[in-house]
Structure formats: structure tokens, C-alpha cells
């Protein structure tokens, strides 16, 4: 049997890099005031239809959707935001008021055509901030994403755009539809998008369409005063923080819930699937899902896409404990348990030669190899080698346990 197409096991050494990433990213998120949240992998399908949007590819084509044994229409989460908004409302945090900041990580599922950097099960690390309308929070969230990427030395380009709000977006959509009506040669998909969600045409991958849309009305030129002010302030804050960015007027994101700020981090080092993180503001989503109107902003990083870009060399750690004679096993086992109170300790249960023990200790990434041979067994000592410093010594058992 094999794992399903587009799904992967995460084994060591990759799993060590994965955990290292989660640990570093979580620590950075905590510095910005985010707290850990976990929501179920399975949700009602309706949740994603109403948030990510029926016109999106995610909901339209890529959902792992099925009817459960109770007859409920459910699906594996294709992204994290919708479930967290559901949870935020269910636990009445919208009524409580104030600012609530969460970070999360875990698997997401999209039935896409697998290729390099694109999987059907993949992992995201994300943050969601609720209750803060200030554009400083947008900047803060962008800076956190950048901090995480910079912490691993990941080269990237930041692209930003503003998608407007209910006051200015409908007017923009109308002018875009007018423009599209007068254009010939746009692709079938865009003709459909024109009727369902016209701004989606802007990130069409068809070269011919992109040529045509060069002359299309631009989102940032059609913003209301408030959105314009916020977008300008965001740029100013980023500049003052020394963050380089590009304004991409075609950046519309693949999910329907965004308002105002939208952003993406792309990498030039990972091939066609170059988006390593994406996010933005979604001030209407809490209300759309039945909660009290609450502004919100967040992002998610695609973990698989950046693991390739991260260098991670694990430090040698803890003890390897072995014996050269059967009689010493019990004593070695006691030592192992004692060492485990404070550090990593791995024991080999079969008596082996010193050379063979050293090889195993090295393979298991241990810092010290402690071996009990005949001599050591007789006089109550242990032979210990520091595999990093290449130093060895024989020490009384008592001293070894206290070290």
C-alpha cells in the first residue's frame, strides 16, 4: 500500500526540520502576542462555501467533500482561517470584544493536480488577529511573516495590494465588468469569472488575458478615501521599517473573504509554485458567518514550500548507552533511566563491540557514548566519549550520574 497521490509521510530527518520550523515560528508568533489555537480538520462544507467562496477554485474544484455516517455534508479543511472564525464565533469571543490573536499549524487538504511544491495534503503555519481595525496590525502581521522567513534566511519578494471594502469594491467590479464586455479574446474561464467574481480575472494565468488586462482599471486607483488612506499608511509603515515590497495591482488572492490589505510572499528559488505565504485583512468574514462585525487580519505560510529552503543541522545531544557484556545490561538500563530525567538517553540492548557502539551513537545523533565493558563492570565505572570534542575518559558510575 502507498500513501495517496499528493500526500506524503514526514520522516526523520525531514521531520526534525519540520519541528524546528514550527518551534521557531511559534516563538516568533508569541512575541507578537499570538496564542496557540487548534480547530478540527473536518468542518461542515457550508463553512467553506460561505467563507472561501463558491466562485473560488478551492471550493469549486478542490474540496475533499463527503457525507459522513450521520448524513452530514462535511469536508477536510482546505485552509485554516474559516475554522478559526467559526470557533471565534462559537466561543462568543466576538461578543466579548477586545483583540484576540491566534497562531496555528497543521495539515490542509486541497484536491489539486500534484506537482513540485503543490500537494493534496500540505501544512500551513498561520496567524489570525481579531478585533483590531488599525492598519498597524496589518503591518505587524506582515512583519511577523517576514520575521519568520528572515529567521531562516529565506529570500523573498513581498507583494501587496488593496482589495477595497464594500464601499468601493462594487464600483470597481462594475467598471471592470464594463471593460471586460468590450474586450474580445479573453479565455473561457475569465468569461465565467466575469459573471461570478470579476476581480478573479486579474490573476488569470493565460498570457493573452494578461496582455488584455494591462489596460484594465486598477484596484488601487478606485479605492474609497478610507481604503486609500489605509493603503498609503501601510506602505509608509513598511518603508519606515525598511521592508521592501512591490505593489501588485493584480494580486487578488484565491479566497473570497479578503477586504483591504492583501499580500503574498514569493520566492524565486522554488519553481512555478512560488507563493510561500499569503494573507490579508478580512473585516467582513466574522459577520458573514453569523458573528458580531469584527475586523480581522492574518496569513498562512506553506510549510512544504519553505522546508526545501531551510538549512538545518541538528546539534548532537544526550547520551548513547551500551554494554559489551550481557551481565551489565541491568546496570546500563538503570543508568539510562536516570539520565532520561534530564536529557536524551538511548540504550542499545545487545552487547556489542566498542567500535559498533560508537557507530550507533553517531547515527543516533548523541553527544556522548557511554559504554560498560568488562573492566568497567568490575570496578563500577563507565567509559565515556564526547563525540563532538573527540575526548574520552573512564569515570566512576556515581560521577557519571551526577555529571
Which window, 176-184, 299-307, 310-318, 355-363, contacts ligand HAM (CB under 6 A)? 299-307
> Is 128 a binder of ligand HAM (CB under 6 A)?
yes
Please return the burial class of 78, using the count of CB atoms within 10 Å of its CB with bins 0-12, 13-18 and 19+: buried
Nine-digit cell string for 323: 554494554
Q: Could you tell me if 90 and 100 are in contact, meaning their C-beta atoms sit under 8 angstroms apart?
A: no
Q: Figure out which of the listed residues 198, 278, 291, 322 binds ligand HAM, where binding follows CB under 6 A.
A: 278
Closest CA to 299 of 333, 276, 269: 276
In terms of CB distance, is 165 or 358 closer to ligand HAM?
165
Across the strands, what pairs with 381? 396
> Is 81 a binder of ligand HAM (CB under 6 A)?
yes
In terms of CB distance, is 280 or 291 closer to ligand HAM?
280
Which window, 66-74, 124-132, 181-189, 287-295, contacts ligand HAM (CB under 6 A)? 124-132
From CA 353, how far away is CA 327, in angstroms rounded? 15
Taking the complex as a whole, how short is the minimal distance between the CB of residue 103 and ligand HAM, in angstroms? Answer: 11
In terms of CB distance, is 88 or 299 closer to ligand HAM?
299
Closest CA to 323 of 387, 240, 257, 381: 381
Alpha carbon of residue 392 to chain centroid: 43
User: What is the DSSP track for 243-274?
Assistant: ---EE-TT---SSTT-EEEEEEEE-SSS-S--
> Is 277 a binder of ligand HAM (CB under 6 A)?
yes
> Is 209 a binder of ligand HAM (CB under 6 A)?
no
Among positions 247-276, residues that touch ligand HAM (CB under 6 A) are 254-255, 275-276
Which window, 111-119, 208-216, 330-338, 348-356, contacts ligand HAM (CB under 6 A)? 111-119
From CA 277, how far away is CA 157, in angstroms rounded? 11
Tell how strand 296-302 and strand 121-130 pair up: antiparallel
> Is 124 a binder of ligand HAM (CB under 6 A)?
yes
From CA 87, how far away is CA 196, in angstroms rounded? 28
> Is 107 a binder of ligand HAM (CB under 6 A)?
no
Helices (H), 32-127: 45-48, 57-61, 81-90, 93-96
In terms of CB distance, is 281 or 385 closer to ligand HAM?
281
Q: Figure out which of the listed residues 88, 122, 213, 400 binds ligand HAM, where binding follows CB under 6 A.
A: 122
Taking the complex as a whole, how short is the minimal distance between the CB of residue 247 and ligand HAM, in angstroms? Answer: 18
Taking the complex as a whole, how short is the minimal distance between the CB of residue 347 and ligand HAM, in angstroms? Answer: 39
Q: How many residues bind ligand HAM (CB under 6 A)?
A: 25
Q: Figure out which of the listed residues 305, 339, 357, 367 binds ligand HAM, where binding follows CB under 6 A.
A: 305
Nine-digit cell string for 383: 567509559
Under DSSP, is residue 394 helix (H, G, I), strand (E, B) or coil? Answer: strand
> Is 80 a binder of ligand HAM (CB under 6 A)?
yes
Contacting residues toward ligand HAM, per CB under 6 A: 79-81, 110, 112, 118-119, 122, 124, 126, 128, 254-255, 275-280, 298-300, 302, 304-305
Amino acid at each position: 500500500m502507498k500513501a495517496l497521490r499528493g500526500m506524503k509521510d514526514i520522516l526523520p530527518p525531514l521531520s526534525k526540520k519540520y519541528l524546528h520550523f514550527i518551534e521557531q515560528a511559534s516563538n516568533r508568533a508569541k512575541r507578537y502576542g499570538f496564542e496557540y489555537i487548534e480547530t478540527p480538520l473536518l468542518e461542515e462544507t457550508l463553512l467553506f462555501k460561505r467563507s472561501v467562496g463558491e466562485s473560488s477554485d478551492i471550493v469549486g474544484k478542490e474540496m475533499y467533500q463527503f457525507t459522513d455516517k450521520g448524513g452530514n455534508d462535511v469536508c477536510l479543511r482546505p485552509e485554516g482561517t474559516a475554522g478559526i472564525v467559526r470557533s471565534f464565533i462559537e466561543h462568543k469571543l466576538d461578543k466579548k470584544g477586545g483583540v484576540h490573536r491566534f497562531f496555528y499549524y497543521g495539515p490542509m487538504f486541497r484536491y489539486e493536480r500534484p506537482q513540485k511544491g503543490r500537494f493534496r495534503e500540505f501544512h500551513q503555519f498561520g496567524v489570525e488577529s481579531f478585533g483590531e481595525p488599525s492598519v498597524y496590525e496589518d503591518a505587524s502581521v506582515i512583519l511577523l511573516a517576514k520575521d519568520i522567513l528572515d529567521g531562516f534566511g529565506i529570500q523573498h519578494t513581498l507583494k501587496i495590494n488593496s482589495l477595497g471594502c464594500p464601499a468601493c469594491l462594487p464600483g470597481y467590479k462594475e467598471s471592470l465588468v464594463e471593460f471586460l464586455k468590450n474586450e474580445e479574446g479573453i479565455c473561457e474561464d475569465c468569461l465565467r469569472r466575469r459573471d461570478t467574481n470579476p476581480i478573479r480575472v486579474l490573476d488569470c494565468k493565460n498570457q493573452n488575458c494578461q496582455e488584455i488586462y494591462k489596460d484594465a482599471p486598477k484596484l488601487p486607483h478606485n479605492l474609497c478615501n478610507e481604503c486609500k488612506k489605509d493603503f498609503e499608511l501601510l506602505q509608509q509603515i513598511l518603508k519606515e521599517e525598511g521592508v521592501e515590497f512591490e505593489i501588485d495591482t493584480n494580486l487578488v488572492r484565491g479566497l473570497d473573504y479578503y477586504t483591504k490589505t492583501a499580500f503574498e510572499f514569493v520566492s524565486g528559488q522554488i519553481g512555478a509554485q512560488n507563493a510561500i505565504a499569503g494573507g490579508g485583512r478580512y473585516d467582513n468574514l466574522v459577520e458573514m458567518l453569523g458573528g458580531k462585525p469584527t475586523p480581522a487580519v492574518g496569513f498562512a505560510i506553506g510549510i512544504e514550500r519553505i522546508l526545501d529552503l531551510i538549512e538545518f543541522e541538528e546539534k548532537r545531544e544526550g547520551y548513547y548507552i551500551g554494554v559489551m557484556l550481557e551481565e551489565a545490561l541491568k546496570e546500563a538500563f538503570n543508568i539510562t533511566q536516570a539520565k532520561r530525567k534530564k536529557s536524551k538517553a538511548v540504550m542499545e540492548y545487545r552487547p556489542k563491540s566498542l567500535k559498533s557502539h560508537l557507530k550507533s551513537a553517531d547515527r543516533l545523533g548523541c553527544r556522548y557514548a557511554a559504554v560498560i565493558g568488562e573492566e568497567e563492570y568490575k570496578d563500577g565505572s563507565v567509559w565515556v566519549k564526547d563525540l563532538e570534542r573527540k575526548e574520552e575518559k573512564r569515570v566512576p558510575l556515581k560521577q557519571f550520574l551526577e555529571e
